[in-house]
Amino acid sequence: MQTTDVMDHLRVGLEALQAQRARVEAAAPYPTSDNILHNVPEAIWYPPEVLAHLTEMLPFWFGEVERIMAGNGVDPVPFGRVAANELRIGVIARDRSLPLRELYARVESLVNRAIARLGEMTDADLGRQGLRQGRGLVTIGQIMNDSMAGHLVEHVHQIDDLLAGSPRP
């Protein structure tokens, strides 16, 4: 995996999110989900909750990448969390009430920051490993490509489904 591949994946996710923004804003206001634990079947998120999750998720994983980069490069750095993490849920619950324009601005800023940081990294940096809670050894490339860029794209699809009237948990 190369840094440019991950940068492109992040750009594609951001562009897709920006492309649906007018439709999201036109369909506002949204109800507030009764359950924001996305790992349980009855959880339904509306666009503000998805966007609040993105503004929480992106800096979390970016911080975990920096934690691994600060390691000695030999021993895997422990990192990660579970979906039911109280801080994670609290931030989503708090920020889902922010104006959509603010949530979009935060996501754009965070993705651009990650892209800029990738521009400072080498392909070898993407191979540095961390020990992810419950999942084992994971590389920085996997975190940035899967947990950040891929997860962003998944949530773009989730918003598309919500706008089409078929929400997915």
Range of the domain at 152: 3-163
Question: Is residue 156 a part of any domain in this protein?
Answer: yes
Backbone angles phi, psi at 136, to 5 degrees: 90, -155
Q: How confident is the model at residue 42 (pLDDT cuts 50, 70, 90)?
A: very low
60-114: pLDDT as tens digits: 999 999 999 999 988 999 998 877 778 888 999 999 999 999 999 999 999 999 9
pTM: 0.92
HEC readout, 146-169: HHHHHHHHHHHHHHHHHHCCCCCC
43 vs 111: CA distance, rounded Å: 26
On whether residue 46 sits in a domain, the answer given is yes
| Burial of 1 per CB tally in 10 Å (0-12, 13-18, 19+) | middle
3-class secondary-structure state, position 103: helix
Report the amino acid identity of residue 107: V
Amino acid letter at 113? R
In the chain, the percentage of residues whose pLDDT exceeds 90 is 78
pLDDT reported for residue 40: 58
Is residue 80 a contact partner of residue 135, using CB atoms and an 8 Å limit? yes
Q: At 139, is the pLDDT very low, low, confident or very high (cuts 50, 70, 90)?
A: very high
Q: Tokens 């691994």 identify what position?
A: 68
Q: What is the CA radius of gyration of the chain?
A: 16
| 168 is a domain residue | no
pLDDT computed for residue 169 by the predictor: 46
Give the CATH number, domain containing residue 133: 1.20.120.450
In a domain, 62, yes or no: yes
Residue 122 inside a domain? The answer is yes
- 39 burial level (CB within 10 Å; 0-12, 13-18, 19+): exposed
**Cα separations in angstroms, 168 against 11, 42, 44, 52, 161:** 24, 10, 7, 17, 7
Number of domains in the chain: 1
Q: Is residue 157 part of a domain?
A: yes
Report yes or no on 48 lying in a domain.
yes
